[in-house]
Chain A
Amino acid sequence: MAQRLKPVDVVTIGVGLTGSLTALELAKTGLKVVGLERGAPRDTVPDFQSPAIHDELRFSIRKAMMQDNVKEAVTFRNSADQTALPLRRWGSFLPGTGLGGSFVHWNGQTFRFQVADFIYRTHIEQRYGKKFLDACGPDLTIQDWGVTYAELEPYYDRFEYLLGTSGKAGNIKGQIQPGGNPFEAPRAREYPTPPMKETYFGALFRKGASDLGYHPYPQPSANLSQPYTNPEGLALQQCVFCGFCERYACEHYAKASPQTVILPVLLEKPNYELRTNCQVLRINLDSTGKKATGVTYVDAAGTEYEQPADLVLITAFPLNNVRMLLLSGIGKPYDPKTGEGVVGRNYTYQTVGGPTVFMDESININPFMASGANGTMIDDFSGDNFDHSQLGFVGGQYVGAIMTNGRPIEFHPTPPGTPPWGLEWKQAVARHYNHTVLIQQHGTSTASRLNYLSLDPTYRDAWGLPLLRMTFDFPDNDIRMSQYIADKVVEIGRAMGGTTVARGGTKRPYNATVYQSTHNTGGAVMGDDPGTSVVNRYLQCWDVSNVFSIGGSAFPQNGTYNYTGTIGAMTYWALDAIKNKYLKSPGPLVQA
Chain B
Amino acid sequence: MTRKRLVRSAVAAMLVAGLGSAPIGVAHTQSGPPRPDVKRGAVIVTQGTARGAPACAQCHAFNGASDGSGAFPRLAEQSSYYLSKQIRAFISGDRVNAVMSPIAEALSSDDIADVSAYYAAVSAPFPPLPAADAALVKRGEELAKVGSAAKDIPACDNCHGPGGAGEPPAIPYLAGQYGRYIAFELHMWQRGFRKSSPEAMAQVAKRLDDQDIAAIAAYYQQVGSGADAVASH
Contacts and interface: CB of A to CB of B under 8 A. Distances in A.
Interface of A: 43-46, 49-51, 226-227, 235, 237-238, 240, 251-253
The 4 closest A-B pairs by CB, nearest first: A238-B199, A50-B158, A45-B149, A45-B147
A49 B155 contact: yes
B149 A43 contact: yes
Contacts of A253: 152, 154
Interface in B147-168: 147-149, 152-155, 157-159, 162
B154 A235 contact: no
Contacts of B146: 45-46, 49
Interface of B: 145-149, 152-155, 157-159, 162, 199-200, 203
Nearest to B207: A235
A237 B158 CA distance: 14
Nearest to A235: B152
20 contacts: A43-B149, A44-B154, A45-B147, A45-B154, A46-B146, A49-B147, A49-B155, A49-B157, A50-B155, A50-B157, A50-B159, A226-B199, A227-B203, A235-B152, A237-B200, A240-B200, A251-B147, A251-B155, A253-B152, A253-B154
B203 A238 contact: yes
A82 to B, nearest CB: 47
B116 to A, nearest CB: 22
Contact of A238 (B152, B157, B200): B200
Of listed B145, B155, B162, residue having the most chain A CB within 10 A: B155
B154 A252 contact: yes
A45 B148 contact: yes
Nearest to B159: A240
B153 to A, nearest CB: 7
A49 B142 CA distance: 12
A45 B155 contact: yes
Among B152, B162, B200, B203, the one with the most A-chain Cβ atoms within 10 Å of its Cβ is B152
B203 A49 contact: no
Contacts of B148: 45
Contacts of B203: 227, 237-238
A171 to B, nearest CB: 29
A43 B153 CA distance: 12
Nearest to B143: A45
A49 B154 contact: yes
Nearest to B158: A50
B207 to A, nearest CB: 9
B200 A46 contact: no
B202 to A, nearest CB: 9
Contact of B153 (A45, A50, A227, A240): A45
A49 B200 contact: no
A509 to B, nearest CB: 42
A44 B199 contact: no
Nearest to A46: B146
Contacts of A44: 147, 149, 152, 154
Contact of B162 (A51, A227, A251, A252): A51
Given A49-B145, A226-B199, A227-B203, A252 B152 contact: no
A231 B127 CA distance: 50
Contacts of B153: 45
Contacts of B158: 49-50, 251-252
Contacts of A50: 155, 157-159
Given A49-B155, A251-B158, 13 more contacts: A44-B149, A44-B152, A45-B146, A45-B153, A50-B157, A226-B199, A227-B203, A235-B152, A237-B199, A240-B199, A240-B200, A251-B154, A252-B154
Contacts of A51: 157, 162
A43 B162 CA distance: 20
